[in-house]
Structures are given as C-alpha cells and as structure tokens.
Amino acid sequence: MTELLPNHFNGTWQTGTGQGTVLTDPVLGTELVRVDATGLDLAAGFAFAREQGGQALRALTYVQRAGLLAAAQKVLQANRDAYYDIATANSGTVKNDSAVDIDGGIFTLGTYAKLGEGLGERFFLADGDSARLGKDPLFQSQHVLTPTRGVALFINAFNFPSWGLWEKAAPALLSGVPVIVKPATATAWLTQRMVKDVVDAGIFPAGALSIVCGSSAGLMDQLQPFDVVSFTGSADTAAVIRSHPAVTQRSVRVNIEADSVNSAVLLPGEAAGSEAFDLFVKEVAREMTVKSGQKCTAIRRVLVPEELYAAAAQAISARLAKTTVGNPRNEAVRMGALVSRAQLVAVKDGLEYLKTQAEVLHDGSAAALVDADANIACCVGPTLLGVRNAAGSDSADRIHDTEVFGPVATLVPYRTTGGSMDHAFALVRRGQGSLVASLYGSNPQALAHAAAELADSHGRVHIISPDVAALQTGHGNVMPQSLHGGPGRAGGGEELGGLRALNFYHRRTAIQASTTVLAQLQ
C-alpha cells in the first residue's frame, strides 16, 4: 500500500485513521501516496494554533517574523529538486510550468520577508496620520492595525500547491497570525512536503503552521469570530463557504477567489504582423498552454477587431500547432497533463458545451501524445474556438459565462465603428468581473483609456506594448507586488498587492487620546 502522508496538527505529526484517498500520476496512472484527515481532533488543533501559535507569533516584531520567512525560504530553496520531482509526478507539469508554481511560491515568500524588514521593531502598524477631533489639537484620533487574535484557515485549489500556499501564508505569518492550510486533495503532496520541510526545520513557533490533508469536513465549523478564512476554487464552493454559520453568524472574515473568464484585448489600429499584434498572439498561445491552461488567471476570451479575426485565428493556431503534449519527463514535451481524470472529463464536457456556440479554429487533440498512452494520460491538446462575427460575439452567451479550466480559449471579434472600443468594453464586462484583463497596442493614450474603462471590473489590468515587450511579467503571472483578486464572479476578494495583503490579517481600530498618549504607542 502507498505511503499515508501525515498531517501536522495540534503541534504534532499525525496520520488519519481512515484508508485515505490515493493521489495518482495523471500521465502514467500510477498510485503515488495517500492522504487522510479522519480522526483528527479539530477543536484541539484549532485551539492550539489560535492560542499557542498566535501568542508566540504576536510576541515577535514584524522584523523578527520577517526573519522567520527568510529562514523558511532558505529551507525551500535547498529542497527545490524534490519539489520538482513531486510536481512532475503528481501534477503532470513540465519543468517550466512547475517553476511557475514552485519558484513563484518561494519568490513570493522571499518578497514578504524583505517587505517585513521595513516594518520595524513594532507589534502593530499605524494606519495613516492622526486626525484632530476638535479645535484644540491636543485630543486626536489615530487609526492602528493590530494582528487579529485568531487563526487563518486556507482552503486552496489544486492548480498551485506551492504558490497557493505561500502567497497566503507569507502575509499571514508576517502579520502574526497562525496558519492552517487545507490543500486540494488531488495535488496535496507538494504542499504537505513543503510544510514538512519548514516545520521539521523548527523555524516557526509550535502551532504557527499546520496542514490538514484530506477531507475539509468540519474545518469551517471550528472558526471563531476573530478567525479568517481564505478560499480559492469554484463559485459553487465559495457560495457554501459564504453561507456557513461561521461567516453569517460569527462574522468570520472571508476572502474568496472564484471563477474568472479573463480577457485579452487587441486594440484597433494594429495591423496583422505588427509588433503589438505579434505580442498579442504570443501571449495568448502562452497563456493557453502554461500549466495546461489550469490557471485562474489564464486567458479565456481573446478579443480582436472584427477585421482581424481571420488573421488572428491563423496566427494563434500556428503557434499552438507547435505545442507538443504528453509525458513531462520527455524533453520534447512542452505541455503536460491536466491534474486528474475528473479534470479531463470536465474540460472535455466544457469544450462540448462551448462548441454549441463557437467553431473550432485549432484542435490540439488531433496530434498524437508524446511518450504517453492516450487511454491513461489525462492530456488534452490546446483548443482555440471562435465566433465568426461581432453579432456572434453578442449572442454566444456561453463563452462569456463559462470557464473551461484547461487549454481552451475563444476568439471573439468586436466592432470598431469609428475607431470606438465600446463594443469591446461591453463584451469584456459580460464576464461579470474578472481577475485580469490584458491590453495590447502601441498607442499609449488609447491603452491608458482602455485600462481606465476596464479597471472597475478587474483586479488587475496588464498592458503589453512594444516598449515593454522584454520587461512585462505576463498576463497570467501573479506578482506579489500587485493585487490579486477581482470583483463580481471572480469572488470579490483581494490578495497580495505588497503590504496591502496584511490588511486581511489585521483589525483596524481608532485610538482617541491626547497627543502625549498617542506618542507612546509602540
């Protein structure tokens, strides 16, 4: 029988008492390890993290906690090779795609270690300047941010077992809030191994970092008023979390990142073959294939002026045709597998659903898999769909409402009467709120105007123009310095954004006192 991975909970390593769920290699179909949380004393584990871990973290200054993050980063760097092996086996990703997750997570952790160094030897943060409350300046109000005296529960998605952990845990631990992470079962191995390496190194106080692998049943029931919960996943599960008594009755703070039908928009006035056009084509193809399209920020709708529809379809298809799909252990392969059989079925079903309103422009499934058995491997080739005209863009409601979580995107033509982008803006907004939109063009004024128009319905607007072709960080790459999240159907949450991420783990309070007293605050 395969190894049963232990959970780190209530300050100790402990295995579940059930048979567990088997994690498999999505390319070879072989069994890897098992995870199980049956029998864990959830109440005791949450209490230990909240009381022991929280108290120990809050006793440290921000600079001291930043030092712990830096030490954890060194441990992770030392074990990178093992993480890559796990990602290849459990997520089916090629090396470059594994790097997005593994190195991205380590980089984010290091970024918050550096940010914490600048916060000083303090135990809370000032929020703005003090404000006079009357004519006499002696009595004033000062807003402060203090770490919440609770625990941070993270319920994470399967696509980023490393980055999804550290982009949440880094600002939480820097804030002085203990973490309990529940990774998605399908790819929990990498998260568990990273947590194990850091815990075994003895870096954080007991109870500061816990992990529960297996079922999430009962976790939300343990949350108390000063706890917080952050979830990444489907809108359906997000609705269940939002309706839980912990949120509706105990006012537990919740952050949600859910479905997102992200857009890439080529601005009018860019001819086929121009530098901006080529950058657009390259980025669309890249975003469709990185991690087999299993990114919450991946491009799902590809908007072009109606007159460029055919040229864009041909250019993007030509790039996708060069993408070899199969076993990530083969150096000739550029795109690996979906993470599980269930995801393969979901992507295929989603494709059939979209095909009722869109034509197939490039069918990646026509090419044979490299070094993989199509009857076993959870692989699917990149597929570009399209609607032939702008009228079709209006009527094909499914492409604006449905996120197929795989290497799938739809080419969407828009009208440019009089050079206006109003139709494009309207189509983008039909996504009802997204994590990111990217804009491509060479006219700075037009790009700035488009960004301002779309900012209200996106967490991030990424602009790629020829002058930053070699500098831009990518439509789908989430950088710790910038906000990650989005309004509406994207969940309404906010993560990262530099030190803004710390706000979720702090409570804002107005302290009203004499300036003499306020001067003593430390």
Q: What per-residue confidence (pLDDT) applies to 88?
A: 98
Given a cut of 90, is residue 348 above it in pLDDT?
yes
Q: What is the mean pLDDT of residues 93-109?
A: 97
**What value does the mean pLDDT of the chain take?**
96
Q: What is the mean pLDDT of residues 381-390?
A: 95
Q: First-to-last CA distance in the chain?
A: 55
Strands 139-147 and 131-132: antiparallel
State pTM to two decimals. 0.95
Q: What is the mean pLDDT of residues 31-56?
A: 97
Q: What is the mean pLDDT of residues 83-91?
A: 98
Strand ranges, E, within 124-260? 125-126, 131-132, 139-147, 152-155, 179-182, 209-211, 228-232, 253-257
Residue 113 burial (C-beta neighbours within 10 Å; 0-12, 13-18, 19+): buried
Q: Residue ranges per domain, the chain?
A: 3-258+495-518, 262-478
Distance in angstroms (rounded) separating the CA atoms of residues 474 and 461 = 11
Q: What is the mean pLDDT of residues 112-129?
A: 95
Distance in angstroms (rounded) separating the CA atoms of residues 162 and 145 = 28
Question: Which pLDDT band, with edges at 50, 70 and 90, does 418 fall under?
Answer: confident
Q: What per-residue confidence (pLDDT) applies to 419?
A: 84
Q: What is the mean pLDDT of residues 209-221?
A: 95
Closest Cα partner for 411 from 314, 481, 291, 519?
Answer: 314
Q: What is the mean pLDDT of residues 400-409?
A: 97
Of 228-232, 235-239, 334-338, 466-470, which range is least confident? Answer: 235-239
The CATH superfamily holding the domain 3-258+495-518 is Aldehyde Dehydrogenase; Chain A, domain 1 (3.40.605.10)
Q: What per-residue confidence (pLDDT) applies to 329?
A: 97
Given a cut of 80, is residue 522 above it in pLDDT?
no
Given a cut of 90, is residue 153 above it in pLDDT?
yes
Distance in angstroms (rounded) separating the CA atoms of residues 92 and 21 = 18
**Residues 366, 381: contact at Cβ < 8 Å?**
yes
Tokens encoding 284: 């669309």
Q: What per-residue confidence (pLDDT) applies to 496?
A: 96
- CATH number of the 262-478 domain: 3.40.309.10
Closest Cα partner for 86 from 251, 166, 214, 196?
Answer: 196
* pLDDT tens by residue, 293-332: 999 999 999 999 999 999 999 999 999 999 999 999 999 9
Distance in angstroms (rounded) separating the CA atoms of residues 32 and 460 = 37
Question: Which pLDDT band, with edges at 50, 70 and 90, does 61 fall under?
Answer: very high
Distance in angstroms (rounded) separating the CA atoms of residues 168 and 8 = 18
Q: What is the mean pLDDT of residues 141-162?
A: 97
Given a cut of 80, is residue 383 above it in pLDDT?
yes
Q: Which residues pair with residue 494 across a beta bridge?
A: 485
CB-based burial, 447-483: b 16+ in 10 Å, e otherwise: beebeebbeebbbbbbbbbeeeeeebebbbbbbbebb
Tokens encoding 398: 């499914």
Percent of the chain scored above 70 by pLDDT? 100
**Residues 47, 62: contact at Cβ < 8 Å?**
no
Q: What per-residue confidence (pLDDT) applies to 366?
A: 86
Q: Which residues are catalytic?
A: 257, 296
Q: What per-residue confidence (pLDDT) applies to 226?
A: 97
Give Cβ neighbours of residue 28 (< 8 Å, ≥ 6 apart): 327, 376, 377
Q: What is the mean pLDDT of residues 503-517?
A: 97
User: With helix as H, strand as E and coil as C, how does 355-422 read?
Assistant: HCCCEEEEEHHHCCCECCCCCCCCCCCCEEEECCCHHHHHHCHHHHHCCCCCCEEEEEEECCHHHCCH
* pLDDT tens by residue, 13-29: 999 999 999 999 999 99
